[in-house]
Structure 1
């Protein structure tokens, strides 16, 4: 199992409590469009991801991350 696969698995596990609509998760799943998250949900989720991976995701990075795949890439880069 690659690091990126582990990151994706962890991200998907972190999404579950926030996935009120039961959306099937793929790397292309968008947080705003597919999951329909509001800004408060996004902030809670980002905090959970930061705690899980022991990283800090800047506001500028958050603005560029629209889907699960992009988040996995950002986490991998920050952890690297």
Structure 2
């Protein structure tokens, strides 16, 4: 399993408690469209990801991240 696959698994595991719609989670899953998250849910989830990976996701980065795949790539970049 590659590092990205491991990161994807951890990210999707972190999404589960917030996945009220039980949407299928792929690289293309959209936080706004598919999961229908509001801004408070996003903030709670970002905090959980930051704690899980010991990283900081800036507000500018958050604004650019729309899908699970983009988040996984951003986490991989920040971990490096």
TM-score normalised according to structure 1 size: 0.99
Correspondence for 2:52? 52
Mapped to 1, the partners of 2:19 and 2:71 lie a distance apart of 16
Deviation at 1:61? 0.2
Gaps of 5+ in 1: none
Correspondence for 1:8? 8
1:42 maps to 2:37: no
Correspondence for 1:27? 27
TM-score normalised according to structure 2 size: 0.99
> Where in structure 1 do 4 or more consecutive aligned residues deviate above 3 Å?
none
- The count of corresponding residues between Structure 1 and Structure 2 is 80
RMSD, aligned CA: 0.3
Deviation at 1:51? 0.1
Gaps of 5+ in 2: none
Correspondence for 1:67? 67
Deviation at 1:76? 0.3
Secondary structure, counterpart of 1:24 in structure 2: coil
Deviation at 1:56? 0.1
